[in-house]
Amino acid sequence: MAKPLTVEEPPVNIYEASGQLTVAIPMPGAHNDTVEVVLEGRKLRAQAEARYAQEQQHYLQHEWSVGRFQREIELPRAVQAAGAKAMLTHGVLTVSLPLGDAKGSGTARIPVEEPATHQATPH
């Protein structure tokens, strides 16, 4: 029996290097076109809807599920939206945010990219 579709709050890693904060969030089954990343001051929100036909499987063990992911993070340092990048690689969303003054930055949506080798190719 398939697990019900729920909103998962995935774990997060945050690290600082080379003048930027990097936030990494696992989102198995998500694709760049279903992920939204929004920066509002020092608050980062990432959400996604993963697509993977788990309900059609006959599981012998079922420990992870797909569906909706949402995580809101209060960043430990002020960052800038200008120059921010979001990349989804192998099911891990990585958001790179330049350190800086967030005053007056308002709300910024950060487009999510996926490496060319992971994107669907047209037939």
- CATH code of the domain containing 92: 2.60.40.790
Q: Is residue 119 part of a domain?
A: no
Q: Is residue 41 part of a domain?
A: yes
Q: Flag whether 123 is in a domain.
A: no
Q: Is 63 exposed, middle or buried (0-12, 13-18, 19+ CB in 10 A)?
A: exposed
Give the pLDDT score at 1: 43
CA gyration radius for the chain? 16
CA distance between the termini of the chain? 35
Q: What is the pTM of this model?
A: 0.81
The structure tokens 């690290």 sit at: 15
What string of pLDDT tens digits covers the 123 residues of the chain?
444 456 789 999 999 999 999 999 999 888 899 999 999 999 999 999 887 666 677 888 877 777 888 999 999 999 999 999 999 999 899 999 999 876 655 799 999 999 886 455 454
Quote the domain boundaries for residue 82: 11-114
- pLDDT value at residue 101: 79
Token pair, residue 92, equals 């891990």
What's the domain count of the chain? 1
